[in-house]
Amino acid sequence: MNIVADENIPCVQQAFASLGEVSLLPGRVMQAEQVRDADILLVRSVTRVDASLLQGSSVRFVGSATIGFDHVDRDYLQQQGIGFATAPGSNATSAAEYVVSALMVLSAQQGVELAGKTVGIIGCGNVGSRVRCKLAALGMTCLVNDPPLQASAGHDDFVSLEEVLQADVVTLHVPLIKDSPHPTFHLVNAALLDRLKPGAILINTSRGAVVDNRALDALLATRDELSVVLDVWENEPTIRPSLLQKVDLATAHIAGYSYDGKLRGTEMIYHAACDYFATPAQWRAADVLARAASIDLRDHGTDDLLAVARAAVLACYDIREDDARLRATLPLPVTERALAFDRLRKEYPLRREFSESTVLLREPAGAPGQLLSGLGFQLVSSH
């Protein structure tokens, strides 16, 4: 079979070699003539998959190595009898760890404790539920708003959007939906932004258009006490430079870019393709993943639990490095800046998840060890 794949899907050639010959292309500029003879098309979120791309092609299966699917016309695929699979939850842990790293940095900059603070989680699916677990481990009180999940699952611990907006931290983990009973396009608009409590932290790792970027830009011109963390932007890769300059932490849509998460996504769509074509799977992500380096905290004081957690988190993933890389693109002309945004994603450095790092502690059973374990780290006693 002929397979066309986004060049940013890791190990895609090795994984799909058992199914056919893999050709790599840049996903953002993938054209119809390039996929016309493909049997399998593999994409990420930057490729719009619809009739304009697939009409007249021989594509029989589309795999998106992402948790979202707003870039795919699923109705068209179904009408054409084209198989489709995504990778739900593949990068959820990575995105949750991004939120933790951001809060570690901001809490240090502002000199505040996280324990006892309230966090409003809008969307409690694969990512939001992991955020909830990790922030609860930090002693934060989690308020959850997710109307679709509340309606389908009958949970009774959800709160209104109005209550969430009064939290110390508001973090967004919803898909981009424009036409349903619960649309999320510009969910956080000027009116909602204005209701954020003084000094609140707003984090968006979902989709750029969930937040009205123009309204947020205008708001931050008058409310500099707010702290904002943006990983996703409207009109990527041509993002608003004025907004980039105003937010506290800014990254190039890489929250879910741990190597573990990306390989997990490759594995999930590979297995889905094997199932679709009734072919035994021959590749596993585990075969190419090795343990990350150990983090030695044996000489770190244990009185300040947040400081211990911060040391481990930032040793594993320091969001400030991604922030610096994106801000370095600001002096570039507009077209070059957009190319640089995509290059930051394509050439993203190796990043491992907390669970792949072993933390060395003198007393793992103590409070610091319990906290780190709650964040997902593996602990080893070492005297």
- Annotated active-site positions, please? 207, 236, 253
Helix (H) or strand (E) holding 175: none
Alpha-carbon distance of 184 to 109, in angstroms, equals 31
Question: Cβ distance 125 to 90 under 8 Å?
Answer: no
Sequence-ordered alpha helix ranges (H) in 304-366: 305-316, 319-327, 334-346
Q: How far is CA 166 from the centre of its chain?
A: 24
223 C-beta neighbours (distance < 10 Å), count: 15
Q: What element of type H or E holds 15?
A: helix 12-16
With 0-12 / 13-18 / 19 or more C-beta atoms within 10 angstroms meaning exposed / middle / buried, residue 157 is exposed
Q: Any idea what DSSP says for residue 346?
A: H
Q: What is the DSSP string of 186-220?
A: T-B-HHHHHTSPTT-EEEE-S-GGGB-HHHHHHHH
- Sheet architecture: strand order including 378-381: 295-296, 358-361, 378-381
CA-wise closest residue to 354 among 378, 371, 370:
378
Round to whole Å and give the CA distance between 267 and 259: 12
Contact of 295 with 360, CB cutoff 8 Å: yes
Q: What whole-number distance in Å separates Cα of residue 342 and Cα of residue 332?
A: 14
